[in-house]
Amino acid sequence: MALNRSARWQVSEQRRVEYDLVSTPDVFDPRNDALLSIGRVHEGRRFVVVDQRVHDCHGERIEAYFSHHRIEARIITLPGGEAGKTVDAWLRVLRELDAFPIHRRDEPIIAIGGGVLTDVVGFAAAGYRRGVPHIKVPTTLMGYVDASVGIKNGVNFDGHKNRLGSFQPPQRVLLDRTLLRTLPRRHLQNGLCEIIKLAVIKDAELFRQLERFGGSSVAAAFQDDAGAWILDRAISGMLEELAPNLYEDELARKVDFGHTFSYGLETRHGDRLLHGEAVLLDILASTSIARRRGLLGDSDAERILGLAGRLRMAPAVELLDGGLMWQALMDRVEHRNGTQRVPLPAAVGECVFVNDITRVEITTAIDRLHDWARTKHDRIPEC
Amino acid sequence: MALNRSARWQVSEQRRVEYDLVSTPDVFDPRNDALLSIGRVHEGRRFVVVDQRVHDCHGERIEAYFSHHRIEARIITLPGGEAGKTVDAWLRVLRELDAFPIHRRDEPIIAIGGGVLTDVVGFAAAGYRRGVPHIKVPTTLMGYVDASVGIKNGVNFDGHKNRLGSFQPPQRVLLDRTLLRTLPRRHLQNGLCEIIKLAVIKDAELFRQLERFGGSSVAAAFQDDAGAWILDRAISGMLEELAPNLYEDELARKVDFGHTFSYGLETRHGDRLLHGEAVLLDILASTSIARRRGLLGDSDAERILGLAGRLRMAPAVELLDGGLMWQALMDRVEHRNGTQRVPLPAAVGECVFVNDITRVEITTAIDRLHDWARTKHDRIPEC
């Protein structure tokens, strides 16, 4: 019986994180087996959470799909929209799930909806029995190019966006572009803001294509060839940024462009702003800061500021507020472990990180943006 | 603008999972820097959650510790015990945490308490901002040899134990054996049941030492040399089982011995049974099943059944109930993805997994156990 007086044990293991995203048109067609491509089918059960509006349009097809494949499905609906991203919604999903026994590993939960729904359901899947698998089917553009691409989920809490959540990879993301067909213009533009973000900080070619075809692609609800190209390019770009940093071990993230000041704007004006609309306001403010600092030349700044107008978006610049945005930055400093790490554009398609933005700088940038909005508003081409 | 008509993206990344367990006597002594061995100290803040009873005994020392090191600490208390393992307790911790800004990465949450407390706080750390680091300081034997060793956390939900939770490695576990000194005998025996479990299914040498020194070590609250050896051996054994399977990718787990039927017993009799006491009842029932199947010889079965008596434990065998235990097994089947995967002892120190336990078998095993308890009760040596 040998004694070890200074015992110490070290655990060091590798874990593989794997998932895929698959384009699969008409995902509710019973001949398309993508929805059942993971997990057991024979005697299988599925817990399915569908956005209320998607259920209004596609509920019967979804039910018929599972009946056709003899799957015992429990289908529940959740309201979409930021107001539904709550601990209560999360607990409701968990209670319904707990009332419908599923195998822990081979009967994945299926989340069909926008970014809010897949975030709430992903967080429920992450917390149930310490994690059960899930599949995401984004039905909004925001979900398609942003929320579904990575492994983050969450709910709002205590007045803060996404304050609770986890990193939990889906097993698979099913991308059915035809579902975007019926989206209202405002929601297409909402998702488009995340594509703009990506173009500004890392993809000059995507930016050029947005300048040329962004307007027509929105009009075609991304069902045209240019729209398909833009979506593929945006997803590829997102994955280039996210995949090597899935758990945000590196806190300086290009994809946080547009996600510093927007945090406060969205919290304060949640009744008025969609997520992408707040992101666009942040993009404009950040661009104005970068220009004032001399990080960004005038012509590139004009192109970035001008793109929103070209795409017939009307950002609510009157909501920009120095105090609110400074507070948002302070919260992001805690989130980014004590340092600002704010991505700012250094050209169209390039970015740098800065750690020394001042409150005065924010206020000045907003003032310049208001001047710019007044003078430019009339002559931005609406294409 | 090349189009990709059958787009598919695969994400495949490795993630390293690392933490350590360190023996560190007198962890609240200001000269011991273990509590601050991870994270920033200069201008540092710490959110600390302490079990109410531990705070009654050590609260002043804990506060003095952080003052001494000029750390701005927010110390909150939680009641221990299974009744406190709730979603409400989890949300309370999260609200208090959100009111005390900490850096996301270098100001780890410190959880000081038993298994329930470290499970609740670990789950809060896992969910806050999608995961902030935490350190565990177990103050009960159950925490010391079991709950703190792995990466699981959780709360009870919807009438089910640990139905919500996550896998979230702590950054470090600080093992201060002197904290066990003041534990009541019942709580020492509670943790001892997990050590017995481990001995039965994988460590014949540990079993022998428990037969020889288990009783005296409990009497010495594990402050003696034999007690130290038993604790080290138990932690090493647990880690051998847990480390290669941190996320339970393999669902047939030896450490689930004693954790099949106990699940129902604990849910039904939570007011009467501590976790380890329910585990011990399961160990006895499982041993009886294994003996009836001929998996286990009579003399090994007698040694296992007899150990509880040697250690002056009095398992409440009258609570064993066939219907309840069958229901618990059915739930475990969902949890183990459709198969029983029940570990049964094949000798002292060895186990096998079975998938075909019947309801009748459980009832018969309980009957035999009742017979055995009646005949043996008087002549089990109390050492």
Residue range A246-299, pLDDT digits in tens: 999 999 999 999 999 999 999 999 899 999 999 999 999 999 999 999 999 999
pLDDT score recorded for residue A381: 40
By C-alpha distance, the chain A residue nearest B18 is: A12
CB distance B272 to B289 below 8 Å: no
Residues of B in contact with A244 (CB under 8 A): 13
Q: Which of B10, B130, B167 sits opposite A152 (nearest CB)?
A: B130
Positions in chain A whose pLDDT score sits under 50: 379-383
| Inside any domain, residue B57 | yes
CATH of residue A287's domain is 1.20.1090.10
Q: Of A164, A181, A198, which residue constitutes the final position of a domain? A: A181
| Inside any domain, residue A5 | no
Residues of A belonging to the active site: 152
One domain, residues A240 and A321: yes
Q: Which of A160, A201, A155 is nearest to A343 (CA)?
A: A201
pLDDT score recorded for residue B374: 86
Question: Tens digits of per-residue pLDDT, B46-72?
Answer: 999 999 999 999 999 999 999 999 999
Question: Tens digits of per-residue pLDDT, B176-192?
Answer: 999 999 999 999 999 99
pLDDT score recorded for residue B382: 36
One domain, residues A156 and A216: no
One domain, residues B220 and B329: yes
- Is A104 in contact with B336 (Cβ distance < 8 A)? yes
Residues of A in contact with B176 (CB under 8 A): none
One domain, residues A337 and A216: yes
Q: Of B118, B148, B181, which residue constitutes the final position of a domain? A: B181
- Do β-strands B342-347 and B350-354 pair in parallel, antiparallel, or remain unpaired? antiparallel
Q: What backbone torsions phi and psi does residue A321 show, to the nearest 5 degrees?
A: -145, 120
pLDDT score recorded for residue A373: 86
| Inside any domain, residue A7 | no
pLDDT score recorded for residue B375: 81
pLDDT score recorded for residue B381: 39
| Inside any domain, residue B11 | no
Can you give the residue range of the structural domain that contains B48? 20-181
What is the average per-residue pLDDT within B146-150?
A: 97
CATH of residue B39's domain is 3.40.50.1970
Its sign, for the CA torsion A289, A291, A293, A296, is positive
Question: Tens digits of per-residue pLDDT, B344-357?
Answer: 999 999 999 999 99
What is the average per-residue pLDDT within B87-101?
A: 97
Q: What is the ipTM of this complex?
A: 0.94
Cα(B149)–Cα(B246) distance, integer angstroms: 11
B152 catalytic residue (yes or no)? yes
What global pTM score does this model have? Answer: 0.94
- Burial readout A19-28 (b: 16 or more C-beta within 10 A, e: otherwise): bebbbbeebb
Q: Of B181, B212, B237, which residue constitutes the final position of a domain? A: B181
Q: Which of A241, A235, A94 is nearest to B160 (CA)?
A: A94
One domain, residues B138 and B171: yes
pLDDT score recorded for residue B4: 53
| Inside any domain, residue A322 | yes
pLDDT score recorded for residue B5: 57
Give the number of domains in chain B. Answer: 2
Q: CB count, 10 Å around CB of A378?
A: 7
Eight-state DSSP code of residue A50: E
Q: Which of A5, A229, A251 sits opposite B1 (nearest CB)?
A: A229
- Is A98 in contact with B6 (Cβ distance < 8 A)? no
- Is B127 in contact with A6 (Cβ distance < 8 A)? no
- Is A9 in contact with B337 (Cβ distance < 8 A)? no
The answer, yes or no, to whether residue B300 has pLDDT greater than 90, is yes
pLDDT score recorded for residue A233: 97
Distances (CA, A) of A281 to A189, A257, B42, B293: 13, 11, 37, 70
One domain, residues A162 and A48: yes
What does the mean pLDDT of chain B come to? Answer: 95
The answer, yes or no, to whether residue B383 has pLDDT greater than 50, is no
Q: Which of A4, A10, A226 sits opposite B20 (nearest CB)?
A: A10
